[in-house]
Structure 1
Amino acid sequence: MYLLMKRIGILIILAITLHSCNLLSAAGITSGGQPTKQAPDKLTSSTANSVENVDHSTWDALLKKHVDANGMVDYKGFEKDRSKLNNYLEQLSSYEPSKEWSVQELLAYYINLYNAYTVDLILNNYPVESIKDINGAWTKSIVPVGNKTLSLGGIENGVLRKMNEPRIHFAINCASMSCPKLLDEAYTAGKINEQLDRATEEFINSDKNEISKNSAKLSSIFDWYKKDFISDKTPTIIDYVNQYSTTKINSGTNVSYKNYDWKLNEQ
């Protein structure tokens, strides 16, 4: 009887451990086996030195057609082009990224992967007022990549955030009003540095932040992911923001954070 109870206890512990590991992976604490190359301090745009150059032209055309200059999305229009979106999603999922890919290709691939599958998630639950109304939006494994299935949280936290490139926070879009806007073009290795700069500059200088010389009321993104923006070069959030802000915030200014608007970013 004692041995039986001991075995049952071991099985319960094992089941809990496996369940916990699955939850951790889904929440993006692990990379799900995806490559996480470190971006250099000075990233350059390039299609060289990569075994793969992914064609994102289908996604680029869809974005130009269904996303306006303010990053607002025509989800009904995307639904009408569902077959084209599905073809692109299938194309992305057919790849098995590796460390033989350049860091530029990896960044463009995972940013587009996140954004395209976020649009897909909204369409699968449309009409919806907020992505937060969708159960497990960031934790469920819904993104097939090769023989793996990732969560949106896994792509963000387990892959992109581990690539030493904080500008990714302004490139991925969570389908919400307070999110950095969805860029109306696909990210590509050949333009990745300029695109990340554009996304970051536009976000920091938008109404998502309230900035003056002696006041800084910033997006909650800078609070949630604070450690991603802090480095030897930018020891404070103000230092990071001042790299891109047209209005420079005085050193030592008190920083507060704005409430996040999770309403759908629909045209």
Structure 2
Amino acid sequence: MALLDALSRHSIHSLLEFGTENALPGFVREVGAAEMEQQMRENHKEKLKNKKEKQSRIELRSPFELRMLNLKILTERQPIFDDSAESLAVQGSSFLKHFHGSELVEAIETQTEVENSPAIFVLFWGTEGSLGEHALHLWKRSAYKWKNMINEKLNIKREAVFGVVKCDEEGIELCRAFGILPKQKPQFLAFMDGQRVGQQMGLGDEEFFIDWIRLILMGSLIHIKDVTTKNNLMEFGPITIGIFRDEQQAEFKSYRRVAVLLAGRYQLAYKLDKRQ
């Protein structure tokens, strides 16, 4: 009321009449302490809600995920490819295994029985729209490039098997077994030693998939024992190196847990130094 009294001094008419407890909506009225506290609590809840929603919209990309394709734009594009790209895809298709029934589950179980068995990389794609066809085309080209150009340069001892599961009427049960629905966007899963070690839901060019495959095969955390190892890693992109006293150090164990969570996305390595 004191505020209305002050404002009335600058008005032709008195504003005090609008300060009644039952004033109509749109007019100034007196607000009690209890109502103010209630509004403060509601505002606080709203801020927390907005903060959570804002955090959920943040997309964190690693240095290897800066060339991602825009899926919304790609969905609008017809799956028509030029001759050179199609040629690579056709050649790459010979390196893809189409998993049916229990074949994928059996292949993953076999990994636990054979030491250093091949890693399995699988594309799950649905039948909705053209996005799946674009993903399949890129996956074929990536498989071709890995088998013919990249693998020899990397000197990675573990082999890789590339596969495809189409989430149509025949493969829908297999897709659901791995938590993938037919109408979802394409997903890529990686398996080593009978365990799922990587997942990729984005699309990129061949170099993007090559980096993802390489990071999975090299392991979530690489031990740098000499300068040569470090230099070789630096040739393939940004690398994060942690320096620890020994592998029993609490900080190292935390670093290793983070590396497992970020497998396939970041190139993480470590070096041991007794002086630390």
The two structures have a TM-score, normalised by structure 2, of 0.28
Q: More strand per residue: 1 or 2?
A: 2
Normalized against structure 1, the TM-score is what? 0.29
Choose between structure 1 and 2 for higher RCO, CA contacts under 8 A separated by at least 6 residues.
Answer: 1
Q: Larger Cα Rg: Structure 1 or Structure 2?
A: 2
